[in-house]
Amino acid sequence: MAESDRAKLTDPFGVALDLEQGALAEVAEHLVRRASDMRGYYADEEALEELIREHDDPVHYEVFDTPVPKAAGHLKFCISKLQPGTVGDECFMTKGHYHELPGTAEVYLCLCGSGYMLMKADDGRCEAEQMHRGAVVYVPPHWAHRSVNTGHEPLVSFCVYAAEAGHNYGDIAQEGFPKRIFRRDGEVTIE
List interacting residues with a second copy (CB under 8 A). Answer: 1, 5-6, 9-19, 24, 66, 68, 72-75, 77, 101-107, 109, 111, 117, 119, 121-123, 127, 129-131, 133-143, 158, 160-163
Q: Supply the minimum distance, in Å, between the C-beta of residue 131 and a second copy.
A: 8
Q: How far apart are CA 78 and CA 57, in angstroms?
A: 24
Q: Are 150 and 91 in contact (CB under 8 A)?
A: yes
- Nearest residue (CB) to a second copy, 37 versus 127: 127
CB 92, min distance to a second copy, A: 20
How many Cα atoms occupy the beta-carbon half-sphere of 150 within 13 Å?
22
By beta-carbon proximity to a second copy, the closer residue of 56 and 72 is: 72
Separation of alpha carbons 187 and 106, rounded Å: 29
Dist CA 173 CA 14 (whole Å):
36
Q: How far is the CB of 155 from a second copy (least distance, A)?
A: 14
Identify which of residues 31 and 121 has a Cβ nearer to a second copy in the complex: 121
| Distance from chain centroid for Cα 93 | 8
